Structure 1
Amino acid sequence: MLPESFGGRIIYLLQQYGPSFLKGAGVSMWLALVGTLFGCIIGFLVGIVQTIPVDKNDSTAKKVIIKVVKFIMACYVEFFRGTPMMAQAMFIYFGSAYLFNINMSMWFAAIFIVSINTGAYMAETVRGGILSIDPGQTEGAKAIGMTHVQTMINVILPQALRNIMPQIGNNLIINIKDTCVLSIIGTVELFYTTKGVAGALYTYFESFTIAMVIYFIMTFTCSRILRVIEHKMDGPDNYDLATADTLTHTSGMYSYKERKDSRE
């Protein structure tokens, strides 16, 4: 028998279906982490391609190829940013079987959908992060003989990564919540599990209260961890400026906090 009080029903559901809620939460977190990881890889690749410079001295063939590739990348970004993930899930999972006779497994389709959707958003983030770096960095790298690839890997991307780290965290948080739309293709994640529990006992309010608390715990924990990572990437406030020039001050340069006047 279900208890009559709200708190009693919450406790009853946790006792009876706690492992199911935890399993669904684990699936949601796993899909979000893997999808964000692959989405970041896609986003970095697309963002880098979109920022490839075209020099007036380049051959006509190279200019045409770069323009065509950039156009295709732009179409990909605009399409997946301009349509909801739920519609994308239906189109890819059921449409691929209907149009191309490609029968995707449910798990592959889920990861694929989250990845390409995240990749479209990350592509614009990476492009903006690269363009935010002072052009003097690129000019300096080229002045010492670096190629475009070497400049991107060793100079631009490390700085751009720090700038876009908050957006990577935002995409992870969004993906944790948006995995619920994958229930439409049969993915047994937290939302799907909650619907099953609520429908079995007609405890919709209590069941989704539990689900909301679990979603909040996952997103809040991830946001705190990402804040710590961002802080680590900032480096120390006070540091030595390493130098190999014997004519300069060998102990480096220091940054000290201002001291109050002892007479105050």
Structure 2
Amino acid sequence: MNLDFTQIVPYIPFMLEGILATLKFVIISIFIGLVLGTLLALCKITKTPFLKWLADAYTSIFRGTPLILQLMLIYFAIPQLTGYDITAFLSAILAFGLNSAAYVSEIIRAGILAVDRGQTEAAEALGVPYKPMMLNIILPQALKNILPALMNEFITLTKESAIVSVIGYLDLMRRAQIVGSDIYRNFEPLLFAGLVYWVLVYILTSLGKVVERRLRQSD
């Protein structure tokens, strides 16, 4: 086998810098997806037809089109339509955040509907307003049920972050490609990048299990 990992050793610090670049936009995207996804989920269960239709249409569009297409539309279409020269970083945040919100909204909606209807009826009987009821009673219970699905969505988002390399963002994948072009050997740097992604996913999975265990112990 024609493998020589010694050639990528001088480039390892350069590639490892891509971890911070990756996590920086992934964390922000997760936050956007969680907040916007929660709002969309509440719109989906509301009795207002227009809000429900709007949330369903949003989810249909972002779940029905490829993430890479959404990323490239944002990166290339915004400058063309508005004249604003959007950065690769901001494009990544918008594309991943808006896309994640569509999936998170379905997860949260399912979690809310899974909560015993009696909880809502009891809160309404006691005169608890809708907002405090959702924030203090329904959502905390729903979170315990949907945490594994949410963690899976965040893990998927972390793995799919490699897509941003197509618009030139210097994430882990893009840096591995640059190293491959520099040393004329692509397998070694890509394999190293794959190992780093695996470690990141393993850490996220372990954290998810710890949080899930503590939530169960708090019951």
Task: Report TM bin, short chain.
Answer: over 0.9
User: Which residue type is aligned with residue 51 of structure 1?
Assistant: I
Check the 8 A contact 1:43/1:119 in 2, yes or no. Answer: yes
Residue of structure 2 in register with 1:111 after alignment: 93
Residue of structure 2 in register with 1:184 after alignment: 166
Q: Deviations over 1:50-91 (max 9, x none)?
A: 112x3xxxxxxxxxxx21222121111111111111100111
User: Which residue type is aligned with residue 10 of structure 1?
Assistant: F
Match of 1:11 among 6, 10, 23: 6
Question: Mapping of 1:252-263 within 5 angstroms?
Answer: none
- Greater displacement, 130-139 / 29-38: 29-38
Distance 2:155 2:24 in 1: 12
Residue of structure 1 in register with 2:45 after alignment: 51
Structure 1 portions without partners, runs of 5+: 55-65, 238-264
Residue of structure 1 in register with 2:131 after alignment: 149
Question: Mapping of 1:9-88 within 5 angstroms?
Answer: 9-13=4-8, 15-52=9-46, 54=47, 66-88=48-70
State the Cα distance separating 1:150 from its structure 2 match: 2.1
Provide the TM-score with structure 2 as the length reference: 0.95
Check the 8 A contact 2:7/2:183 in 1, yes or no. Answer: no
Residue of structure 2 in register with 1:214 after alignment: 196
> What is the root-mean-square deviation of aligned Cα atoms in Å?
1.5
State the Cα distance separating 1:5 from its structure 2 match: 5.7
State the Cα distance separating 1:213 from its structure 2 match: 0.6
Provide the TM-score with structure 1 as the length reference: 0.79
State the Cα distance separating 1:101 from its structure 2 match: 2.5
User: Which residue type is aligned with residue 177 of structure 2?
Assistant: K
Relative to total residues, which structure has the larger helix share, 1 or 2?
2
Residue of structure 2 in register with 1:136 after alignment: 118
Q: Deviations over 1:120-139 (max 9, x none)?
A: 10011111111111101100
Rg larger for: 1
